[in-house]
Amino acid sequence: MKEDTNILYQFLQLFRDMPQTDFDIISPYIKIRQAAMGEVLLNEGRTAKELFFVTRGVLKIVSVNDKGNDVIQFFIKENKFCTILYSFNDEVISHESIVAATDAEVFVFSKQRLNELYKKLPYFKELIEGITRRALMDKIKTRNHLMGEEATTRYLKFISEQPDIVLRVPLGDVASYLGITQQSLSRIRRNITF
């Protein structure tokens, strides 16, 4: 397990110098979960009780619009934390789901175990909250940057800024994220010339 979790230790070191002895305390609190493409990690209407760290694959945050259609709000790839933050922090029902957009592997911290860990390493709470807040702001900024454009420009920006996501997730997911139909996306892709 120690070798498996070393990727998280290296990631956390980017934000704060952490002694190996502290990570040795953290490590037993981590569970590793494999998720098949399409597997739901959190259902809408439930309270988020887990914080995920993506080690392989892509997750997606999905909501349901007023027509009953799934809408992808965000993609979360490797070396990112993922949860529905307001639900996790405030223990309220989530209006979004977390779904594996590809086959994925995640490290899982349950909220209960994470709170136990925060008592042992108080600075760890501030570290995790700071990283997750910053990531949420980055996701919103990225999405807002795309949504102000017409469909072709949105797609071109998306493939230039997140080409790895485009290559890994189904085109239907890309269309949903961009707020267009899959047919429109296919037409855009046919008409693009470089």
One domain, residues 83 and 13? yes
Q: At what angle do helices 122-147 and 111-120 cross, to 10 degrees?
A: 130
One domain, residues 189 and 154? yes
**Any idea which residue has 């429109």 for tokens?**
184
One domain, residues 190 and 167? yes
One domain, residues 129 and 178? no
Which structure tokens are listed for 55?
């080690």
One domain, residues 93 and 44? yes
**Domain encompassing residue 162:** 148-194
Number of domains the chain is built from:
2
One domain, residues 116 and 169? no
Q: Do residues 80 and 53 lie in contact, with contact meaning Cβ atoms separated by under 8 Å?
A: yes
Distances (CA, A) of 86 to 39, 82, 94, 187, 194: 22, 12, 8, 37, 42
One domain, residues 132 and 152? no
143 domain-assigned:
no
Predicted local confidence at residue 116, as pLDDT? 95
One domain, residues 103 and 184? no
One domain, residues 18 and 114? yes
One domain, residues 89 and 152? no
pLDDT in tens, 15-72: 999 999 999 999 999 999 999 999 999 999 999 999 999 999 999 999 998 888 899 9
With a pLDDT cut of 70, the percent of the chain lying above it is 97
pLDDT in tens, 103-120: 999 999 999 999 999 999
